[in-house]
Structure 1
């Protein structure tokens, strides 16, 4: 058991609260508190609990709190001035030694064990019925294991046989179903028992608060806890039925937590703050310049004693520690901008069980203006793709996965990355735009008076046809050779002239952009000539 006093270490009541059972002896009573609000950050959360204290209370205890509670972040406030808050102490102990602090896994395991007991009882009853039917079927004709010998008639034998057949069939079907249910429940119980066993040594925290309550009032306890987090995702739907195309962009969030306490009916706020990250910029290191000393004179080798094993382990310890410490996830979704952080308050109260599945929350939907282009890169893929260029996105949109739809048709998955100079979303193939890449033509020749130079020409041609009943805005991308050495000369000719020879500030990326009328075709040609000395060996990367 560990006790972490927060302040006023010399105060006697606080020191007594550090002793097991001393807090209760001083009049502290466990409070029935509930989680009222949760502010969720990337990798941590601020949880606020509220409880009602009675008039005349001198000390109270918030019990069964998660072990990841940060004692330095604990704050206690009273809603009324009639309650004065004194010393605060945080105590950690084993969950097994904390009565009334059963975890969420314990409750789920008890419920699952009850269902499993009912399934086993049903299976046993059906097996008993099946054994009874087998005993009847195995009896000699004219006898019964219940009534004894008898002489049934022919009609009675047929009716008995048919009744045994129907009863046996029904019993075997129900028995098979009952055994399947029992096996499934046993697998679930084993998995939950293993999960509970992994956390059997988990600890719980309790916060003891010394106070003077002249009247009954509400008490609020807030604390930081590590572990829970949330990640952004989006859903984009391209709508082309209206006069101008638009993209409906929906913000989503996936929330998960495994703190040991369920968030039931809590008001949830998602924040982009980073309380677990560095709070200040690093300082520059000294930059020194010195003369390199002369290399030492080689000495004859000497036999070296093997290094102690302890030293080897001590050198490897930092590397092992670095492997064990996993980096915190970097999720920075924002909806409402503030001065230094952005937050989104979920309008409805949510339930997020500890260790349960991720909870998906729909945050907001916006209708954004868009312009459509048909983009193709024929040298790599003779296919046209539909791309939506979005208007300026309001607020901050962090990078995250986006599900893409064209109307009601699902297209696939993409990535919303607002770090690009132009925000674009691809919406799959444009099957009504045909792209043809003609075979590449090459020619080589010697140049110069003595033929000491080599001249190589490469020509590529592409044909794009618009089969839509309306014009499209076409964009054709291609790559041109970029010399990295002054001994290599490159001369390029295009037909027609491209609008950009360094698309998105990438040298050698060519972009033709032009409207293409309905039913029309356009041809694009690029010719590149490389000149260099014959002895020079080139290394090309495409």
Structure 2
């Protein structure tokens, strides 16, 4: 072991923050002597995972530049072989609480705690004495009342004496009761202040017990000289999540990508190269076991051939992604591990709080749209569409929305690949109102006995505008019609009965109108469609 009692510093130089842990890289320069030697380095976080510890020693060569000496790291030195790492391990030390200071060196806070403790003991004794006195007065009052009852039963009447004794007992009970309430109130205040002072003293004066780790490195060096050490390991109590800030200014939008980093590893990360990864190293990598899935065919019965059983099914239109979880959501990376890097060294204190690290920012043209889906919500939302020009994938995360120079709330950004279109909602508008009414009519035709279900949806859209507004606004209204998957059921949009005719109907059955509203304007939109099914269909 090295005879130097002070360990060699081993600072953190690079960190790769994962979804629920961090990969920490440390580097330093060692002054080695020839032969086998054991060095003590650190301190490091006690949360380091022992089995992930890896150390590598590389040789250093000195190069003269303008009469200055600069050390450069090389994988192979000019002469001889580099030093070899024989063993590396983490040794943890438990540092107990330090001894309390002597009475001569007591601080004002400690003297205040001592005074409060003495006052609390005095108040508790006074409270006990007053309680005992009140109990004694209560028994005395009971004795006087019993004497009055017995004397009245024997025909004795000492009304003046009885009245004096009862008045004296009542006065003393009231007096001692008031003194007891005063003592209890003061005792409560002293107890609360004592708890606060003790907590402040623990934070300010008493050193908590600490678990510290050091690295013991055994190295064999062929010759004396400087050498570079690179050590890496995993550690827990560190994670990150993506965050964004969107600023809408006229027809342009600025999107700032940030990473929110939490870490409580027991040490600070100062001026480190930060890399953010969505790799999930804790997940199992074994493929699932394959099991037999037998398919059998059988003939349909006569009843099954005569009828077609159908049902209405709600299906959400969206992309595949990770299932939502309660609490802190995971990182949605689109199914592929993503890596983001901080453009400059960052510092993240180990206080367990959220720290934002800027990653990238870009400004692009944005297309505004006022959209509403009355079946889901009667609110009209301002939606902004733009292309992802950040150069990297936008992971799903919260977005701080800034509009018209002020904070407008917080939204959610979905996963978007580089260059892909992005849709971002900037909150609802209070100057619009949408009312939806729907009715259904069911008929049966004559000979074919086909069932025809006619559904009519009426939308009433109104705009409340200020005195200075003069321009028209276009609101995109979206409704849906069913999409049939069987030939026995037909869905038909009655364009002649719709008012106005829809501007677009896509393959998923989404019907869209672009409704222009002037200031203070009102519009009525009607949608009519039919579901026609043969007599074999049941369940419609």
What SS does the aligned partner of 1:525 have? strand
Q: 1:203 offset after TM fit, Å?
A: 6.9
Structure 1 spans left out of the alignment, 5+ residues: 1-22, 97-101, 134-167, 293-327, 335-339
Q: Structure 1 pair 521/71, CA: closer, same or farther in 2 (3 Å)?
A: closer
Larger radius of gyration: 2
Residue 222 (1) aligns with residue 199 (2): no
Q: Which residue is equivalent to 1:245? A: 251
Note the alpha carbon deviations across 1:383-418, whole angstroms, 9 max, x for none.
211111123332221111223333354443322113
Residue 394 (1) aligns with residue 400 (2): no
Residues 117-516 of structure 1: matches in 2 within 5 Å? 119-125=109-115, 178-182=193-197, 184-185=199-200, 205-212=215-222, 214-215=224-225, 217=226, 219-227=228-236, 228-239=238-249, 244-259=250-265, 261-272=266-277, 274=279, 276=281, 331=331, 342-345=339-342, 347-353=344-350, 356-395=352-391, 396-419=393-416, 422-437=421-436, 439-449=437-447, 452-468=449-465, 469=469, 470-493=471-494, 494-502=498-506, 507-513=508-514, 515-516=516-517
Q: Structure 1 pair 464/54, CA: closer, same or farther in 2 (3 Å)?
A: same
Q: Structure 1 pair 245/351, CA: closer, same or farther in 2 (3 Å)?
A: same
Corresponding residue pairs, total: 412
Tell me which moved more, 378-387 or 62-71. Answer: 62-71
Q: Retained in 1: the 8 A contact 2:500–2:526?
A: yes
Q: Structure 1 pair 453/264, CA: closer, same or farther in 2 (3 Å)?
A: closer
Residue 87 (1) aligns with residue 67 (2): no
In structure 1, C-alpha distance between the alignment counterparts of 2:196 and 2:290, rounded to whole Å? 69
Tell me which moved more, 32-41 or 395-404. Answer: 32-41
Note the alpha carbon deviations across 1:474-524, whole angstroms, 9 max, x for none.
21010112234332222212333323322xx6x122222354444444432
Structure 2 residue corresponding to 1:77, chosen from 47, 53, 58? 58
In structure 2, C-alpha distance between the alignment counterparts of 1:111 and 1:118, rounded to whole Å? 18
Q: Structure 1 pair 333/491, CA: closer, same or farther in 2 (3 Å)?
A: closer
Q: 1:248 offset after TM fit, Å?
A: 2.8
Q: 1:85 offset after TM fit, Å?
A: 1.7
TM-score normalized with structure 1 length: 0.62
Root mean square deviation of aligned Cα: 4.8
In structure 2, C-alpha distance between the alignment counterparts of 1:491 and 1:393, rounded to whole Å? 41
In structure 2, C-alpha distance between the alignment counterparts of 1:379 and 1:445, rounded to whole Å? 25
Q: Structure 1 pair 361/288, CA: closer, same or farther in 2 (3 Å)?
A: closer
What SS does the aligned partner of 1:357 have? coil
In structure 1, C-alpha distance between the alignment counterparts of 2:364 and 2:533, rounded to whole Å? 51
Structure 1 residue corresponding to 2:28, chosen from 29, 39, 51? 51
Tell me which moved more, 512-521 or 375-384. Answer: 512-521
Q: Which residue is equivalent to 1:31? A: 8
Q: Retained in 1: the 8 A contact 2:411–2:425?
A: yes
Note the alpha carbon deviations across 1:407-449, whole angstroms, 9 max, x for none.
3544433221134974111111112233232x32333322123
Q: Retained in 2: the 8 A contact 1:447–1:453?
A: yes
Q: Which residue is equivalent to 2:144? A: none
What SS does the aligned partner of 2:83 have? strand
Q: Which residue is equivalent to 1:40? A: 17
